[in-house]
Amino acid sequence: MRFLADLALFVEVANTGNFGRAAAALGIPASTLSRRISALEQELGCQLIHRSSRAFTLTDVGRSCYEQSRNLVGEAKRIQEGIAGIASQVSGHIRVGVPFDLAQTVFIPLFAQYMRGNPGTSIEVLSISGHTNLLLESLDMAIWVGHQLRLRDSSFWSRRIGTFARRLFASKDYVRERKKIEEPQQLSEHSCLRLVQGEPLSKWELNRGRERRTVTVSGSAMANSVGMLAKFSKAGVGIAMLPDFLAFHPGFGDGLVRVLSDWEGAPAHLFAVTPSELQPERVRKLVSFLKANFEAMLKDVTTSASS
Confidence of residue 28 (pLDDT cuts 50, 70, 90): confident
User: Strand locations in the chain, DSSP E?
Assistant: 49-51, 56-58, 92-99, 121-128, 141-146, 157-170, 192-197, 199-200, 203-208, 211-216, 222-223, 239-242, 257-258, 264-274
Quote the CA–CA distance of 282 and 150 in Å, as a whole number: 24
Handedness of CA 93, 99, 105, 106 (dihedral sign): negative
Quote the CA–CA distance of 248 and 2 in Å, as a whole number: 59
Q: What are the pLDDT digits (tens) for 224-276?
A: 999 999 999 999 999 999 999 999 999 999 989 999 999 999 999 999 999 88
Give the Cα-Cα-Cα angle 158, 159, 164 (nearest 5 degrees): 120
Do 12 and 149 fall within a single domain? no
Confidence of residue 55 (pLDDT cuts 50, 70, 90): low
Q: What is the DSSP string of 203-234?
A: EEEEEETTEEEEEE-B-S-EES-HHHHHHHHH
- The number of folded domains in the chain is 2
Say whether 146 sits in a helix, a strand or coil.
strand
Do 250 and 283 fall within a single domain? yes
Instruction: Look at residue 73 and tell me whether its pLDDT is greater than 90.
Output: no
CATH assignment of the domain containing 30: 1.10.10.10
Do 148 and 206 fall within a single domain? yes
Do 83 and 205 fall within a single domain? no
Do 133 and 207 fall within a single domain? yes
Cβ–Cβ < 8 Å for 16, 25: yes
Quote the CA–CA distance of 66 and 41 in Å, as a whole number: 13
| pLDDT above 70: percentage of residues in the chain | 93
Do 231 and 156 fall within a single domain? yes
Confidence of residue 57 (pLDDT cuts 50, 70, 90): confident
* Boundaries of domain holding 22: 2-88
81/132: higher pLDDT: 132
| pLDDT above 90: percentage of residues in the chain | 54
> Distances from the Cα of 305 to the Cαs of 127, 165, 193, 302, in angstroms?
22, 15, 22, 5
Do 110 and 75 fall within a single domain? no
Instruction: Look at residue 279 and tell me whether its pLDDT is greater than 70.
Output: yes
Cβ–Cβ < 8 Å for 165, 244: yes
Instruction: Look at residue 17 and tell me whether its pLDDT is greater than 90.
Output: no
Task: Decide which of 56, 88, 120 is a domain's last residue.
Answer: 88
Do 46 and 127 fall within a single domain? no
Length of the chain equals 307
Task: Decide which of 39, 62, 88 is a domain's last residue.
Answer: 88
Confidence of residue 69 (pLDDT cuts 50, 70, 90): confident
Do 44 and 135 fall within a single domain? no
Do 289 and 183 fall within a single domain? yes
Cβ–Cβ < 8 Å for 248, 176: no
CATH assignment of the domain containing 156: 3.40.190.290
Letter for the amino acid at 269? H
Q: What are the pLDDT digits (tens) for 107-129?
A: 999 999 999 999 889 999 999 98
**In terms of Cα–Cα distance, which of 206, 205, 201 is closest to 225?**
201
Do 80 and 99 fall within a single domain? no
DSSP one-letter code for 191:
B
Q: What are the pLDDT digits (tens) for 145-190?
A: 988 777 776 678 899 999 999 999 999 999 999 988 999 999 999 9
Q: β-strands 92-99, 49-51: how paired? A: unpaired
Do 52 and 136 fall within a single domain? no
Q: What is the pLDDT of residue 117?
A: 93
Return mean pLDDT, the chain: 88
Task: Decide which of 29, 54, 88 is a domain's last residue.
Answer: 88
